Structure 1
């Protein structure tokens, strides 16, 4: 993604969304490249199948309330 100095100020949400998607943001001022903003290297990549919410309804012997209590216990 390319962004200007004004974009950094007025379109911050779009720039943060691009970083969250793993895109690098090139910052330009008056037509010259001034820098590059890279996404954080410590982003955690979780596969959908490993997410605890995936397949909640596949266990008929456990209620949704019990599953939610188990998930909340980790906090």
Structure 2
């Protein structure tokens, strides 16, 4: 859906309705595209893993020894 900046100001509730249906909204100002609103989806629990967790699991030596050798 494409809306103008004026529509954004005066019809924000309509835009939230459109976004809740999963549609994206392109905002124009003086006929030129300026911004795009995309609907938000909650990330699943599987995607919330910390990238550092399990970093050393494939190493033979423990972390303390590795850090001591690096110093």
Tell me which stretches of 4 or more aligned residues in structure 1 moved more than 4 Å: none
Residues of 1 paired with 2:15 and 2:40: CA distance? 13
Instruction: Give the alignment of 1:44-55 within 5 angstroms.
Output: none
The secondary structure found in structure 1 opposite 2:34 is strand
CA RMSD of aligned residues (A): 1.8
Partner of 2:40: 40
- When normalised by structure 2's length, the TM-score is 0.57
Partner of 2:3: 3
Any unmatched runs of 5+ in structure 2? 44-71
The secondary structure found in structure 2 opposite 1:15 is helix
Shift of 1:10: 0.4
Any unmatched runs of 5+ in structure 1? 44-75
- When normalised by structure 1's length, the TM-score is 0.54
Q: How many residues are aligned here?
A: 44
